[in-house]
Amino acid sequence: MNVFISYRRSDSQDLAGRIADHLETVDEIDRVFIDVRGIARGEEFEAITDAILVRSDVCMVLIGSNWQGPRDSGKPRIFDDADFVRGEVRLALNKDIRLLPVLVNGATMPAADSLPDDIARLPKINAAPLDHVSFDQDIDALVSTMIRDPDYRRARPFWRRAIRTGLRSLLGAVIGLAGFLLIALLSRAYTDQALDKTAGNLAGLLALGTICAVAGAFYPWWRRRK
């Protein structure tokens, strides 16, 4: 499968590169085209993108809050006949290339009457959401749609999962200790005696602190997302 990523640089440039990086790790995808990597200096931009797009299986259209472009002359840039984004969507529609609109970071699909007639069919295509906060889950769902495999889930390196889980556990332990200190302060304020006196002795105090830290460290495992 060959995937073409269509996006507006002023709208979703950073996320487009991140998506391309992830798609390149998918075995079922042979080639991912993104303009900043696929066009050499001195080559004609539109000729290259058109030639690659017509040979692609999927055209992923990233739609952010500024996808239609700035208003240079009363209308958004998407109404400019020479607009590259408009040209890519138009070509994909005309060649019956599979279009996959992706709504980035909470963006909404533009209404048909806010688009030029030649791409007004775009809002009729069911779009997929993708947010930087839930990126891993969203990109898996996106790939699952593209390769038509409802059970797809990208295998991630063990070291990456281990580091992420370790950092979450460390943060949980810090939060647990912070809760312990808050309990100590409240105990002092309401009982007018140190927490070690309330807990019975120093050993009881250390045990209580350890319980708070361990509980905090394991909290990310309890809340682990599937």
| Per-domain residue ranges of the chain | 2-147, 158-222
Question: Minimal CA–CA distance to 61: which of 114, 22, 3?
Answer: 3
The residue type of 189 is A
Q: Is the pLDDT of residue 56 over 90?
A: yes
The mean pLDDT value of the chain amounts to 82
Whether pTM exceeds 0.85: no
The pLDDT of residue 23 is 92
pLDDT (mean) for 162-188: 73
pLDDT band (50, 70, 90) for residue 36: confident
pLDDT band (50, 70, 90) for residue 195: low
Show Cβ contacts of residue 20 under 8 Å, excluding neighbours closer than 6 positions. 5, 32, 34, 37
C-alpha to C-alpha distance for 105 and 132, rounded to whole angstroms: 7
The pLDDT of residue 72 is 63
The pLDDT of residue 223 is 47
- Dihedral of CA atoms 79, 84, 88, 93 in degrees, nearest 10, equals 20
CATH architecture for the domain at 2-147: 3-Layer(aba) Sandwich (3.40)
Q: Is the pLDDT of residue 61 over 90?
A: yes
The residue type of 146 is M
Give percent above pLDDT 90 in the chain. 45
Q: Is the pLDDT of residue 160 over 60?
A: no
The pLDDT of residue 224 is 42
Q: Do residues 89 and 129 lie in contact, with contact meaning Cβ atoms separated by under 8 Å? A: no
Q: Is the pLDDT of residue 140 over 70?
A: yes
Tokens read off for 206: 């250390």
Lowest mean pLDDT among 6-15, 180-189, 191-200: 191-200
